[in-house]
């Protein structure tokens, strides 16, 4: 059982690779057997049909993993300016962020 919990968000501009980074984190931590590819519409974090079709994050995706006895909840945020409200909501729920 993890001893602590950390809530983090991944932030960057559109097409910077936030969702790809999220997929690699899930893979490296053992949460998924293989990382999904955004360009193939197979990313775990992009679950909406429109996200898969457009290849961008529209709604923040939330996932978790355990690493070195710490439980991490992380939010993959949209990068496009039109979805800034999603980023604002994510930031109100986390203690830290990865600026990519």
pLDDT at 55: 85
Instruction: Return the DSSP state at 72.
Output: E
Residues in a beta bridge with 64: 73
CA dihedral sign of residues 12, 13, 17, 19: positive
Angle value at C-alpha 22, between 15 and 76, nearest 5 degrees? 70
Q: Which among 65, 63, 81, 62 is positioned nearest to 28, based on CA atoms?
A: 65
Q: How far is CA 45 from the centre of its chain?
A: 6
Task: Give me the residues of the chain with pLDDT under 70, please.
Answer: 1-2
Please give the model's pTM, rounded to 2 decimal places. Answer: 0.85
pLDDT at 62: 94
* Both tokens assigned to 48: 């909406």
């Amino acid at each position: 059982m993890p001893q602590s919990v950390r809530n983090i968000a991944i932030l960057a501009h559109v097409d910077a690779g936030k969702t790809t980074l999220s997929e690699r984190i899930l893979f490296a931590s053992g949460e998924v057997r293989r990382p999904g590819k955004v360009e193939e519409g197979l990313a775990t974090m992009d679950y909406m049909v429109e996200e898969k079709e457009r290849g961008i994050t529209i709604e923040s995706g939330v996932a978790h993993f355990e690493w070195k006895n710490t439980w991490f909840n992380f939010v993959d945020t949209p990068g496009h300016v039109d979805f800034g409200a999603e980023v604002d909501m994510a930031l109100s729920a986390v203690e830290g962020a990865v600026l990519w």
